[in-house]
């Protein structure tokens, strides 16, 4: 690692675990992963901080593991944000090109972004991302990068992501209590898309469904641009709780059954057999068929994917997803 190398750190605050990663940005722009760390998360619920102290301790543990493996200490982190408080909207705006050559420059794009930041939003909301979907010059649309082109009027259609101010403040307090400073916030599904989607898929139209412990994140791409984002408060933990309540067992047993024997649909079962469940206290051991476990799981999965389907329909992109759906996350 060079002396003046650029070090980047990322922090994923999940409901079940906190993950940290440290990378070096090479001259080519490629990131070289130096180290990562994972710590159990007990201070978050559905993407929201429920206990600042416990969240800070989990952050410290994950960062310490990552720093030890990478051999570097970090002070600044990019933090992933999720939760049902996330909303999105589309907004169209324009600026007039006033230079003599009528050539569009980077400064004109900056003016477009600055203009978006002046729109009225609720006082408890903060703009997390402003992502241009496409540009138009003098009413000619479908332009990806207008820099260097000529025209009098530059318009943009933007995808704006909003987050709850109190939710971000609680994340900020947790990170700072862990001795770190937030460099930037990143919407979790956008970060996931960077890792698992290809440009051709984004061009054709694709939906990313990231099923975590507390929330399921959706990101829809079409024509190489992000078109819709949504966070749903149903994920892996709800499945575990369904198993626990239905079978009358403890959470650890329910999580083990889900991971080791669980299927989303009965058609996926390779071999139906009985599962031995150890008794707790005076209760004796019991056996249940895999089909029963699958029925419990499938009910919650059917509810989740019905919500996902409705979201894609309501957004108007159900029939534009030509490259299909990509599932990711610990709950997938």
* Secondary structure (DSSP) of 197-253: --HHHHHH-EEEEEE-SS-EEEEEEETTEEEEEEEES-SHHHHHHHHHHHHT--HHH
Q: Could you give phi then psi for residue 115, rounded to 5 degrees? A: -65, -40
Helix (H) and strand (E) counts in the chain:
8, 17
- Residue 224: closest CA among 309, 135, 313: 135
Q: What is the pLDDT of residue 101?
A: 84
Pairwise CA distance, residues 246 & 111, whole Å? 56
Q: For the chain, list the domains and their CATH numbers.
A: 6-84+166-189 (3.30.420.40), 87-163 (3.30.1490.110), 200-332 (3.30.420.40)
291 close to 186: Cβ distance less than 8 angstroms? no
* Calpha distance 230→209 (Å, rounded): 10
Entry field: residues in the chain: 332
Q: Per the structure block, which two tokens stand in for 149?
A: 């082109």
Residue with tokens 């894609």: 312
Q: List the one residue out of 168, 144, 174 whose CA is nearest residue 156.
A: 144
Task: Determine the 3-state secondary structure of 47 from DSSP.
Answer: coil
Helix (H, G, I), strand (E, B) or coil at 141: strand
- State the pTM of this model: 0.82
pLDDT of 107 reads 92
Per-residue pLDDT tens, the chain, 332 aa: give them.
555 578 999 999 988 889 999 999 888 878 889 999 999 988 888 888 999 999 999 999 999 999 999 999 999 999 999 888 888 888 999 999 888 888 999 999 999 999 999 999 999 999 999 999 889 999 888 888 899 999 999 999 999 999 999 999 999 999 999 999 999 999 888 888 888 899 999 999 999 999 988 889 999 999 888 888 888 989 999 999 999 999 888 888 899 999 999 898 888 888 888 888 887 766 778 888 999 999 999 999 999 999 999 999 998 888 889 999 999 988 87
The pLDDT value recorded for residue 188 is 87
Cα 186 to the chain's mean position, in Å? Answer: 8
Q: How far is CA 271 from the centre of its chain?
A: 34
Tokens 């029963």, residue? 292
Instruction: Transcribe 256-290 into DSSP letters.
Output: HHHHHH--SSGGG-SS--EEEE---TTPPPEEEEH
């Amino acid at each position: 690692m060079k002396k003046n190398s650029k070090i980047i750190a990322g922090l994923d605050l999940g409901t079940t675990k906190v993950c940290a990663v440290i990378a070096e940005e090479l001259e080519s722009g490629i990131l070289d992963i130096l180290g990562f760390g994972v710590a159990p998360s007990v201070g978050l619920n559905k993407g929201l901080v429920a206990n600042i102290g416990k969240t800070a301790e989990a952050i410290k543990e994950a960062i310490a593991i990552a720093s030890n493996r990478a051999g570097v200490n970090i002070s600044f982190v990019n933090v992933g944000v999720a939760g049902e408080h996330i909303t999105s909207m589309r907004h169209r705006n324009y600026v007039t090109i006033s230079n003599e050559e009528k050539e569009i420059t980077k400064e004109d794009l900056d003016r477009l972004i600055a203009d978006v930041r002046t729109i009225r939003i609720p006082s408890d909301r903060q703009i997390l991302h402003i992502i241009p979907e496409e540009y138009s010059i003098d009413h000619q649309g479908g332009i990806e990068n207008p820099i260097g082109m000529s025209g009098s009027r530059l318009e943009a259609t933007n995808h704006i992501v909003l987050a709850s101010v109190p939710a971000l403040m609680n994340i900020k307090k947790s990170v700072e209590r862990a001795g770190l400073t937030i460099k930037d916030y990143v919407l979790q599904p956008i970060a996931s898309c960077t890792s698992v989607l290809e440009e051709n898929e984004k061009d054709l139209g694709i939906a990313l469904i990231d099923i975590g412990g507390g929330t399921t994140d959706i990101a829809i791409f079409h024509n190489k641009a992000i078109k819709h984002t949504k966070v749903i408060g149903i994920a892996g933990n709800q499945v575990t709780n369904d198993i626990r309540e239905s079978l009358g067992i403890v959470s650890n047993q329910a999580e083990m059954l889900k991971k080791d024997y669980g299927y989303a649909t009965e058609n996926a079962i390779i071999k139906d057999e009985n599962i031995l469940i150890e008794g707790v206290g005076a209760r004796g051991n019991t056996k249940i068929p895999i089909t029963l476990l699958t029925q419990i799981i499938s009910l919650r999965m059917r509810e989740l994917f019905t919500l996902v389907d409705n979201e894609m329909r309501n957004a108007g992109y159900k029939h534009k997803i030509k490259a299909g759906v990509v599932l990711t996350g610990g709950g997938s």
